[in-house]
Amino acid sequence: MAIDLTDEQRAFTEAVAEFAKREAGTREQRDALTDGGRHAHHQGIYQQMADLGWIEGAIESMSDTVLFLEQIGYGMLPVGGFPVSAIVAAAIERSGSEEQKKTVLGGFTTGRSYSIAMSEPEAGSDVANLSCRAVADDDGYVINGQKTWISNAHFADAILLVARTGGAPGDHDGLTMLLVPADTPGLRISGIDTMGGKEVNDLYFTDCRVPADAVVGTAGKGWWQLMAGLNVERLILAGLMLGTARRAFDDTLAYIKERKQFGRPIGSFQVLRHRIADLATEIECCRLLVHRTAELVDRNPQQVLPRESSMVKLKVTEVARETALAGMQMMGGYGYATEYDMERHVRSTLVSTIYGGTSEIQRDIIGKTYGL
C-alpha cells in the first residue's frame, strides 16, 4: 500500500524531526538531557512539545500517533512519558467518566505523564492471575499488594492500576481499573535498575485508600476493558520501535560507508551489502504493516484486531532488535563502545520484545486467531 500523508501530517512530522535535530541532535545534547542515558524522560523537552500542541495533535488519530512515535524514536527524543501516557489516555477515553477524561486527557495534552500498573511478581503474561486486591468499603477502596516492572511510575502524576476487586486469581471477571494519584498515602514507588537505566519500578500498596470514583469504567470488568485497548497499546509500541529501527539502520549505513578496511569502505563488501539489503526490506515491511494497521483502527476504533495488533507488535519489535544487533556486529568494536549510539539502540530494542506482551505471547495469539 502507498502511504500518502496529508499536507498537515507532512508538516507535522517535519516539524518534529527538525525539533529533534535542534534539541537532541548530538550525543552531547542527549547525554545532558538523560544523565548519560540513564533517564528516558526529560520533562523540559516534553513540556515544550506539549506547549507546541504536538501531544494533542498526535492523538487525533492512530495514524497521527504512529507518525509522531516514529519521529520520537528516530530522533531519540527523551520523552519516554509519551507512549505509556498515550496508552492510559486511550483507556480513559474509552472507559472513563467525564471527570476522569477531563483530568487525564487534559493533563496529558498539557504535558503530564501517566503510568499503567498490571504486572506482578507472579503474574506477567498471565494477567488473569493478578492478586493485588482493592477491597470496597464505605469510603471507596483499600488497596494492598505489589506491582512490578511498572514504566514511568517514578515521574507519573497518576497510575492506572489493574487490581482484583472480586473473584480469585485466575478469573477474568473481578478485575477493576482504578486511577490512583502517585502521591496517594500508602503507595511506595521503588525504582528497578535495568540495562536501559531508570525506566521501571516496583509499586507497593499498603492500605492505600482511593475514593469510589477512582474506578475507571465498570468494577469487575477491567479485563474486558483492557482487551478493548489492545490495538492502541501494540501499535504505540510498534510505532516507537519503527522509528528506532530506522535510526539504527541509518546509523549503521553511515558508518559502513565511511569505515575502511582493506583499502575500501566496508559497506562495499558483499556480505554487508546483502545484510543492509535484507534489513532495509524488513524495515519497509514494518512500515507498511504499522500504517496499514493504524488505518484499520482509524476506520473502526471499536473493532478489536487481535491478529493484526499482535502481528504488528511482533514483527516490528523483532526487526528493531535484529537491526540494532546487526548494526552492532557490522560496526565491530565501535558498535559496542558507549561512544556511539548503537549500544543504546541495542538496549532499547532488546526489551521491546518483552514489554507489552512478549513475542511468544504474540505468536500464541496469532496462532489462536487461525483456530489453533
Predicted local confidence at residue 276, as pLDDT: 98
Computed from CA positions of residues 345, 350, 351, 357, in that sequence, does the dihedral angle turn out positive or negative? positive
Cα 78 to Cα 41: distance, rounded to the nearest angstrom: 5
DSSP 41: B
> Helix, strand or coil for residue 312?
helix
Q: Are 289 and 70 in contact (CB under 8 A)?
A: no
The single residue of 70, 199, 233, 322 carrying the catalytic annotation is 233
Q: Are 75 and 24 in contact (CB under 8 A)?
A: yes
Q: Are 248 and 324 in contact (CB under 8 A)?
A: yes
Predicted local confidence at residue 228, as pLDDT: 84
Predicted local confidence at residue 97, as pLDDT: 96
**Residue 23 known to be catalytic:** no
> Helix, strand or coil for residue 192?
strand
Q: How many CB atoms lie within 10 A of CB 259?
A: 15
Residues in the chain, pLDDT under 70: 1-2
pLDDT 10s digits, 313-322: 999 999 999 9
Exposure b/e, 262-284, CB count within 10 A at least 16 = b: eeeebbeeeebeebbeebeebbe
pTM: 0.94
Q: Are 275 and 326 in contact (CB under 8 A)?
A: yes
Exposure b/e, 335-368, CB count within 10 A at least 16 = b: beeeebbbbbbbebbbbbbebbbbbebbeebbee
